[in-house]
Structure 1
Amino acid sequence: MSILTDRTQRGALFLTVPALAVLLLVMAIPLGVIVLRSFIEPEPGMANYAWFFDTKVNVTVLLRTFSIAFWVTLCCVIAAYPYAFAMSVAGPRLRLVLIMCVLVPFWVSGVVRTLAWVILLQDSGVINRILLSLGFEKVRLIRTQLGVTIGMTQILLPFMIMPLYAVMRGIDLRLLQAARSLGAHPIKTFFQIYLPLSLPGVFAGATIVFILALGFYITPLLLGGPQSTMLSTLIQQQVLSLLNWGRGGTMGVILLIATFGILGIASPFMKRKYQMSGGSR
């Protein structure tokens, strides 16, 4: 039995070799080159990192990048939770319609969806026309951080909905019925039973959305302005416009380290909440 187990483990390890080779070629090696160039271009040392933290604009944009990613993640959680719940409790036909409503926009290019938001959010766009017809004043949405948040939320929403739906489909709704039959209030039943059981999906989706939001480039560029610039735009300027791979690589490395740092701080809390929700069983 032990020999069979060892052979199975070696076979499983062998099957991972192609995927590991691809990851090494397309991620590990290029990332290593970027890290190396951040230390040696234009001259060896820590000059690029000193320049980054000595320049107030760089630090401001870095903090703004994480702020926008946080608000986008929060908006996705708020919008995706009831939608995923509706998908999990709906009948087969309605569930199929709801899933298609999520997937069809997801199959459209992000550039196309962003350009659609440009049309909707501009000063003479559909949203402001509706506001004027209702007697309200125009609201500036384009070239603002609010516009960037709206556009990124719509694009990243499927990445929040699908993990939530996967977890909610596994929750036994008879638990809620049992709580109601014992006299529990619906709100109390939700917060004490359903919400804790769905937290693994919230954490999984929020992590995916947050990480993806940090690296967004096209949407902030088209919908945002100088006051909503994200770090990806500065990296593009350094690499393509100024041909300064050292400083561009430095920005990328700092963003990567900051991301891992936040995830490292949040992971114990997420693990504890996951165990409390029953994930340790």
Structure 2
Amino acid sequence: MTTAKTHKLPVRAAISLTKSKSWRHYPIGLSLILIIPLCLLLGFGFVYPVGRLLGQSFFAPDFGLDNYRRLLETPLYLRVLGRTVIVALIVMAASLALGYPVALAMARLRRDLAGVVMACVLLPLWTSALVRSYAWIVILQRRGLVNDVLLGLGVISEPLKLIYTEGAVILAMTHVLVPFMILPIFGAIRAIPTELVQAARNLGAGQFTVFARILLPLSLPGIFAGCLMTFILALGFYVTPALVGGPSSLLMATLIGQQTTETLDWGFAGALSTVLLCVTLVIVVCFRKALSNNRGISNVA
């Protein structure tokens, strides 16, 4: 009897919500008018371009799977795809290693000091990625800051090749994407009640035990969100790899850009985009399933 009443409570709550004035505060026509601009922007700015590009992968030049067959039969394109996934994973791991201590320090600092650190984290987001990429070119070029310092200290006898390498791409992409890792983790750590940490310390837990048993498990939703955003952004990053990377560090986004701007092969560019989209979805689903058994991850959208 109690179970039946319990199941009826959500239904009664939904019925009372539909009968309340707040539910019908706006007429249906006005609500549709309010969402039409957003739907049009989403349709013309995202759905239509992506749908047309994916359609051209099957219909250019003729209907068929020639573009996908070309992609699978050419080892170069498969190597580029594999390199893109590996670079994205490395950037994600580097951003997590650099971002988690910063987020933890921000959560433990006083409000005024935390605001200063937050401003330092947000400052790169206010600067164009193009400007930051050119700054790395100035720093890593043969007569750049790093080589000049090493030459001045006598560590090296001739300039090192630091720019236009895969390491330069990973370094520059990590610098650009690390704020997207810090902010979700900071929000997750700030949401942890301080009473839990105080109770653990009163019971004799040390710093490492508090971190391993309380802070890290409860901050997993923020870690998952930051890793997901950083990984997806790294997979489709274009500006930084195009400027800092060389032919040996070609990524999928740069390859797609070459197909659309230089060779004008829109059909093959659509096939590359479709494969990259499918790989992204598969990796995200696998990543979600792998972490879904951890506490708190199952509640992350």
What TM-score does the superposition give when structure 2 sets the normalisation length? 0.86
Which residue number corresponds to residue 41 of structure 1?
60
- TM-superposed deviation, 1:131: 3.0
Q: 2:181 aligns with which of 155, 160, 171?
A: 160
String of CA shifts for 1:170-227, please: whole Å, max 9, x gaps: 1123322221221222212211111001111111011111111111112111111111
Distance 1:232 1:210 in 2: 14
Q: 2:237 aligns with which of 193, 200, 216?
A: 216
SS at match of 1:184: coil
Q: 2:127 aligns with which of 101, 108, 125?
A: 108
Distance 2:224 2:297 in 1: 13
Aligned 1:180-219 pairs, distance under 5 A: 180-219=201-240
Q: Does 1:51 align with 2:51?
A: no
String of CA shifts for 1:30-76, please: whole Å, max 9, x gaps: 11111110001011100000000101100000000011111011111
SS at match of 1:59: helix
Greater C-alpha radius of gyration: 2
Matched positions, count: 279
String of CA shifts for 1:207-258, please: whole Å, max 9, x gaps: 1111111111121111111111101111111111111100011101110011
Q: 1:126 aligns with which of 137, 145, 149?
A: 145
Distance 1:90 1:61 in 2: 43
Distance 1:271 1:26 in 2: 33
Q: Does 1:65 align with 2:84?
A: yes
Distance 2:116 2:284 in 1: 35
The residue identity in structure 1 corresponding to 2:109 is A
Q: Is the 8 A contact 1:196 1:276 kept in 2?
A: no
Change (3 A) 1:144 1:276: closer
Percent of residue pairs bearing the same amino acid type: 38
The residue identity in structure 1 corresponding to 2:249 is S
Q: Is the 8 A contact 1:159 1:209 kept in 2?
A: yes
The two structures, once aligned, show a CA RMSD in angstroms of 2.2
Distance 2:123 2:150 in 1: 28
SS at match of 1:219: helix
The residue identity in structure 1 corresponding to 2:220 is L
- TM-superposed deviation, 1:8: 7.0
In structure 2, runs of 5+ residues without a counterpart are 1-15
SS at match of 1:68: helix
In structure 1, runs of 5+ residues without a counterpart are none
Question: After TM superposition, where is structure 1 displaced by more than 6 Å over at least 4 residues in a row?
Answer: 8-13
Change (3 A) 1:132 1:60: same
